[in-house]
Chain A
Amino acid sequence: EVQLVETGGGLVQPGRSLKLSCVASGFTFNNYWMSWTRQAPGKGLEWVASITNSGGSTYYPDSVKGRFTISRDNAQNTLYLQMNSLRSEDTATYYCTRDYPGITPFDYWGQGVMVTVSS
């Protein structure tokens, strides 16, 4: 059974940093691209970052480019999201998601972790 478990959320002040982690199990982690997607309270879904299975390439939308960094440790089956210079508009539930190469993005989702940016 595919499982994605996110940790690391919480309350952080504007301008500060936070790092999210996602531990994956139930599949061969280094065969899959991985992504982060977020959802602000009461709002829709927004893709945040993706990383290739090797970790050699990463992709971001303009809204987080230069502030967020996605990375992975294939030996530990763990995905990360380093978030710097946080803003109030980054307040959201962050989901770790798996991409099935050549088939579909986001075939499995974690339960999500809440990040609140507020002074």
Chain B
Amino acid sequence: DVVMTQTPVSLSVSLGGQVSISCRSSQSLVHNNGNTYLSWYLQKPGQSPQLLIYKVSNRFSGISDRFSGSGSGTDFTLKISRVEPDDLGVYYCGQGTQYRTFGGGTKLELK
């Protein structure tokens, strides 16, 4: 099974600041077809998760360019710039290369 490890578990940020969240997989997420199925999701308080980023660095429809994803192989990063109040919640990375698994989540809070 592919194990996804996210760090940090929680993060405090000032409005307007920038943060990075790391996600590491226990094995390479490069699929046989050459694609890397690493996604990022945000779950705002009391809501269902929503897709932010897919295939490492592609923003989903309607997602602000303040969100950016990068990485390859087993190491991936989500960066959020100019943090706004609506960005607060729990961020999850997830892989779809070998079945599906999620990271444990990173809670983003206001400093």
Contacts and interface: CB of A to CB of B under 8 A. Distances in A.
Taking chain A's interface residues, is the majority helix, strand, or loop, or is none over half, making it mixed?
Answer: strand
A105 interface: yes
Interface string B58-95: 00100000000000000000000000000000101010
A28 interface: no
Given A95-B48, A95-B49, A112-B48, A105 B96 contact: yes
Interface string A78-107: 000000000000000001000110111111
Contacts, number: 63
A104 B39 contact: yes
B92 A45 contact: yes
Taking chain B's interface residues, is the majority helix, strand, or loop, or is none over half, making it mixed?
Answer: loop
Contacts of B100: 35, 37, 47, 50, 105-106
Q: How large is the interface on A (under 10, 10 to 19, 20 to 34, 35 or more residues)?
A: 20 to 34
A107 B61 CA distance: 10
Q: How large is the interface on B (under 10, 10 to 19, 20 to 34, 35 or more residues)?
A: 20 to 34
Contacts of A104: 37, 39, 51, 54-55, 60, 96
27 contacts: A35-B100, A44-B90, A44-B102, A44-B103, A45-B49, A45-B94, A46-B102, A47-B99, A47-B100, A50-B99, A61-B99, A62-B1, A102-B35, A104-B39, A104-B51, A104-B54, A104-B60, A105-B37, A105-B39, A106-B41, A106-B96, A106-B100, A107-B60, A109-B48, A109-B50, A110-B48, A111-B48
Interface of B: 1, 33, 35, 37, 39, 41, 43, 48-51, 54-55, 60, 90, 92, 94, 96, 99-105
Interface of A: 35, 37, 44-47, 50, 59, 61-62, 95, 99-100, 102-112
